[in-house]
Chains A and B, each alone.
Chain A
Amino acid sequence: MSIKNNRLTAEQYEQNFSDIHPPFENREAALVEANRCLFCYDAPCTKSCPTSINIPKFIKQISTDNIKGSAYTILDANIMGGGCSKVCPVEKLCEGSCVYNLLDEPPIPIAKLQRYSTEKAIAAQWPLFQRKPSTGKKVAIVGAGPAGLSCAHVLSREGVEVTIYEKESKGGGLMTYGIAAYKVTPQFCDDEVKFITSLGGIHIKYEQELGRNVTLAELQANYDAVYLGIGVGVARSLDIPGEELAGVEDALRFIYDIREKGYPSVPVGDKVAVIGLGMTAIDAATQAKRLGAKEVTIVYRRTQAEMPSTEVELNLAKLDGCSIIWLASPKEVRGENGRVTQLICNVMELGVPDTSGRRTPVETGETIALDVDMVIKAAGQIPYEDLVQDNQLTHWYGKLVINENCETNIPGVFAGGDCVNGGKEVVDAVQAGKDGARAILGFLRK
């Protein structure tokens, strides 16, 4: 057993990381589905979209060959509607509530149709939006992720000058750095950020990290308002012995490397354990398999009924050949010569429900041992508690606390997205950015 890179041929990598949700081949194929849409009134799909995209309207526009109008309808509500069409867990959002489900018929492939319109808009960089005359106001946004970009776009359309401070060298946040490459390509993420900023009035300063290159006080001094869309940080640590051994990886780092360094250069073990069962865990497990790992085992301390991942995502992992051990909680990572050789897990059973309503797993006293050479931690991320603490921002275990106007305890400093909610979908962050922008516009008018 060993961890090594370059396990596959170029063709195998290409095949393993090709688009998992291929787009419509042509207009006719899109129209077959667009014409199935019933054009519901006060549509359940729209109500199930965190950004409230008028889905029946954009689908109707596809059916009338008004692709520009369709793209506008989508992107006006969700400026990352292109990326969301690839990464949203639509089975529990729009498509999950399509009325066709109630007829036991397949729902309208809303994401695929959304992709049909937005991909054309982004590929051709259609100038769908125009800025209002400048208000002379300036806003600083920290973080060029979905929340920050969405907030920036709304503000800029309203004539506000926006500067975004981004610690990475690319925009897009977790869309660019934290999602499986077979769902959304780095090239698409680049194009999407380019499309958003093509509006004008949005200046992104890369490799500028809050607390390192720039301070909150400076931003407050130089701008009329500040929006924090800083997301969440490192992987939650397991707090178990052996976590420091070589071969224990952070899922986000693993996913980041796959996207940044290229598939052949990312090492993966022969036998990999992935801890956790959220979307990130699935992305890590499937990609470990697709990089050539022989065995991938997902270890989850609860059961399928409690998992954060959707069933569609779980099936993706199963189809990739990943196995799942339910009711197993990591107890210890064992190693030889400083390298991982085994993961010991407590066998759990479900006890009483916790505050989230999910039944809490409790130890049975039994353990199991998995022979592995790599352990990927995907048990959630933790917020930037030190950073917000240092800036005297009110928080709840690191998560920023905001009022109904998206404002933190510091007047003129607003926040939204993962740094507030602890980590949800891209589409939730986009809506948070819209809400933040509306609040800031109200604040600026005062």
Chain B
Amino acid sequence: MADLSTNFLGIKSPNPFWLASAPPTDKKYNVLRAFEAGWGGVVWKTLGSQVKNVSSRYSAVDYNGTKMMGLNNIELISDRPLAINLREIAECIREFPDRAMVVSLMADNTRDKWHELIAQVEDTGAHGLELNFGCPHGMTERGMGAAVGQDPEIAKMVVEWVMEKATIPVITKLTPNVHSVVPTGRASIEGGTNALSLINTIQSVTGVDLDTFVPNPYVAGKSAYGGYCGPAVKPVALKMLTTIAQDPVTSRVPISGIGGISTWKDAAEFMLLGATSVQVCTAVMKHGFRIIEDLCDGLNNWMDEKGFNTIYDFIGKSVPTITHWEDLDINYHIVANINQDKCIHCGLCYIACEDTSHQAINLTYGKPYNTYSIIENECVGCNLCKLVCPVDNCITMVEQRKGDEYLNWIEFQQRGLPLNDH
């Protein structure tokens, strides 16, 4: 059994799975249920000035019968009285002292307001603070949330205010609603933050009701941009995480990874790309806290299989493998191969290649079953056929190097090597 315990700047949790700052962490009732289920920690839903929420608050994107491939929300920070939140945070810490309790903050934009809020939260015994510089809706209009995270100067200033007061570790949460997360990440580190977390939700419109013509989510005939999350955003989150993990400045601090994590596999991927802890929300909003069991179990089994004793054996392991396109080896060439014994003759590989790629699949008519085969000379090794094939390992990509040595695009040009002729 591998050791899943996590130490994030001294914030200890029995496993790297934290609940992200969101509706599931808004109340003692929910948080205790999460801890009972086995969650390693929570980031308590953002505290700040008093707000009021609307209904409805969520809308989703379904995909081919699967519900909630993506979720968006227009819920603001906690709309419960601060005093109640603070009391409940303290009670949760008392009941589960071994779990990580990080509290998300979004104070009004003055040094005093931040200092006052930090003092109140530290009195609860919380283990860390997370600065919400990412919320893309509602709060930005008040100069908070993503409005801070989108401007590195302001972000740095606010982090500096926080660091003047805070005595516990501070994590700065980054918004993805920027061309790059690195500038704000760097500015936050210059301001003194102890760690970074990303991504917050992505501004979105999930769809338009084709009967009422009003976009989702619907609030009395109107809608508003919501923050998008769930499995759909994972690839975006992984990319942004990698840019933080590769940057010489931002990579100096631990990262808590967020964005569409639903399974242990997702979590392992985030950790391989540099996350020390991972935060989950949409998956529990869809299935409840019980998913923690397979998150831990699956990760544990995978670690055992790979020979990793602790999570620190693999955190960041994949970061160096993402390189610049110019450094990729042009001599590496693969071609598709169709295992005829496994082929079910659906023709999906053929039509994808024929209509949208390189006409590298041959169709031999049969009734009712056509036979499909690869025209190796035409195959560019793009992978599309393998991606659309519904049968595991029916289409495999076979290496057929163009040359023995490593050759990148720069050298290729310098040597004046031949380009495609058709």
Whole-angstrom distance from the CB of A89 to the nearest CB of chain B?
Answer: 15
- In the bound assembly, the distance between CA atoms of A181 and B192 in angstroms comes to 80
Number of residue pairs spanning A and B whose beta carbons lie under 8 angstroms apart: 43
B345 touches A102 (CB 8 A): yes
Chain B residues within 8 Å of A31, by CB: 65
B111 → chain A, closest Cβ, in Å?
54
Q: In the complex, what residues of A have CB within 8 A of residue B348's CB?
A: 38-41
B30 close to chain A: CB less than 8 A: no
Given A38-B348, A45-B368, 9 more contacts at CB 8 Å?
A: A31-B65, A35-B64, A35-B65, A40-B345, A40-B346, A40-B347, A41-B347, A63-B64, A99-B345
Across the interface, which residues of A come within 8 angstroms of B370, CB to CB? 42
Segment 119-133 of B: residues with Cβ below 8 Å from A: none
- Which B residues touch A39, using CB under 8 A? 348
Say whether A109 faces chain B, with CB atoms less than 8 Å apart.
Answer: no
Chain A nearest CB, measured from B91 CB (Å): 42
> Given the known A-B contacts A47-B368, A99-B344, A102-B345, are A41 and B350 also in contact in the complex, defined by CB atoms under 8 Å?
yes
Query: How close is B385's CB to chain A, nearest CB, in angstroms?
Result: 12
Determine the chain B residues whose CB is within 8 A of the CB of A41 once the complex forms. Answer: 346-348, 350-351
Q: Residue B52 at the A interface, CB < 8 A?
A: no
Contact indicator A38/B390 (Cβ below 8 Å)? yes
Smallest beta-carbon distance A223→chain B, Å:
37
**A-B contacts, 27 listed (Cβ < 8 Å):** A31-B65, A32-B65, A34-B65, A35-B64, A35-B65, A38-B348, A39-B348, A40-B345, A40-B348, A41-B347, A41-B350, A41-B351, A42-B347, A42-B350, A42-B370, A43-B347, A44-B345, A44-B369, A47-B367, A47-B368, A48-B368, A97-B369, A99-B344, A99-B346, A100-B344, A102-B344, A103-B391
Contacts of B328 in A (CB 8 A): none
Write the residues of chain B forming the contact surface with A, with a CB cutoff of 8 angstroms.
Answer: 64-65, 344-348, 350-351, 363, 367-370, 390-391
Which of A34, A47, A100 gathers the greatest number of chain B CB atoms within 10 Å?
A: A47
Count chain A residues whose beta carbon lies closer than 8 angstroms to a beta carbon of B. Answer: 20
Q: A: which residues have CB within 8 A of B?
A: 31-32, 34-35, 38-45, 47-48, 63, 97, 99-100, 102-103
Per the bound structure, the CA–CA distance linking A32 and B370 in Å amounts to 27
- Residue among A38, A42, A45 with most chain B CB within 10 A: A42
Task: State the main secondary structure of chain B at its contact with A.
Answer: loop
Instruction: Tell me, in angstroms, the Cα distance from A45 to B369 when the chains sit together.
Output: 9
Task: Identify the closest chain B residue to A28 (Cβ).
Answer: B65
Q: Which residue of A lies closest to B355 (CB)?
A: A41
Task: For residue A72, give the distance in angstroms from its CB to the closest CB of chain B.
Answer: 20
Q: How far, in angstroms, from A103 to B350 measured CA to CA in the complex?
A: 19
Nearest Cβ on chain B to A310's Cβ, whole angstroms: 17
A103 to B368, CA, bound (A): 16
A43 to B351, CA, bound (A): 11
Min CB distance, B341 to chain A, in Å? 10
In the complex, what residues of B have CB within 8 A of residue A48's CB? 368
Q: How far is the CA of A288 from the CA of B65 in the complex (A)?
A: 43
In chain A, what residue has the closest Cβ to B354? A41
Query: CA–CA, A43 to B370, complex, Å?
Result: 9
**A340: min CB distance to chain B, Å:** 45
CA distance A215 to B391 in the complex (A): 60
Task: Assess whether B344 is in contact with A103, with CB atoms less than 8 Å apart.
Answer: yes
Which 4 pairs show the lowest CB-CB distances between chains A and B?
A41-B347, A44-B368, A35-B65, A41-B351
Q: Which of A34, A41, A43 has the most CB of B within 10 A?
A: A41
Query: Given the complex, which residues of A lie within 8 Å of B351, measured CB to CB?
Result: 41
Cα A48 to Cα B370 with chains together (Å): 13
In the complex, what distance in Å separates the CA atom of A229 from the CA atom of B336? 52
B367 partner residues in chain A, CB cutoff 8 A: 47
Q: Taking the nearest CB of chain B, how far is it from the CB of A47, in angstroms?
A: 4
CB contacts (< 8 Å) of B344 on chain A: these are 99-100, 102-103
Cα of A58 to Cα of B396 in the assembled complex, Å: 31
**Chain A: CB-nearest residue to B370:** A42
**Chain B: which residue is nearest A42 at the CB level?**
B347
Query: Nearest chain-B residue to A39 (Cβ)?
Result: B348
Q: In angstroms, how far is the closest chain A Cβ from the Cβ of B263?
A: 21
Q: Is the CB of B363 within 8 A of A42?
A: yes
Q: Which residues of A lie under 8 Å from residue B65 when comparing CB positions?
A: 31-32, 34-35, 63
Distance of A97 Cα from B368 Cα, bound (Å) = 7
Q: Which residues of the other chain, B, contact A32 by a CB distance below 8 angstroms?
A: 65
Of A31, A39, A44, most buried by chain B (CB within 10 Å of CB) is A44
Chain A, residue nearest B349 (CB): A41
- List chain A residues, Cβ under 8 A from B346: 38, 40-41, 43, 99
Residues of B with C-beta under 8 A to A38: 346, 348, 390
- In this complex, which of A31, A38, A97 has the most chain B Cβ atoms within 10 angstroms of its Cβ? A38
Alpha-carbon gap, A42 to B349, bound state (A): 12
Closest to A45 in B: B368
Compute how far the CA of A349 lies from the CA of B345 in the bound complex, rounded to whole angstroms: 40
Alpha-carbon distance between A99 and B349 when the two chains are bound, in angstroms: 14
Question: In the complex, how many angstroms separate the beta carbon of B338 from the nearest chain A beta carbon?
Answer: 14
Q: CA A38 – CA B388 in complex, angstroms?
A: 10
User: How far apart are the CA atoms of A11 and B369 in the complex, in Å?
Assistant: 47
Chain A residues with Cβ under 8 A from B368's Cβ?
44-45, 47-48, 97
Q: How far is the CA of A31 from the CA of B367 in the complex (A)?
A: 28
Could you tell me the distance between the alpha carbons of A32 and B62 in the complex, rounded to whole angstroms? 13
**How many Å from the CB of A103 to the closest CB on chain B?**
6
CA distance A362 to B65 in the complex (A): 56
Q: How far is the CB of B271 from chain A (nearest CB, A)?
A: 32
Q: Kindly state the separation between the CA atoms of A45 and B367 in the bound complex, as whole angstroms.
A: 10
CA distance A41 to B390 in the complex (A): 13
Chain B residues within an 8 Å CB radius of A40: 345-348
Residues of B within 8 A of A42 (CB): 347, 350, 363, 370
Interface centre among B64, B346, B348, B369 (most CB of A within 10 A): B346
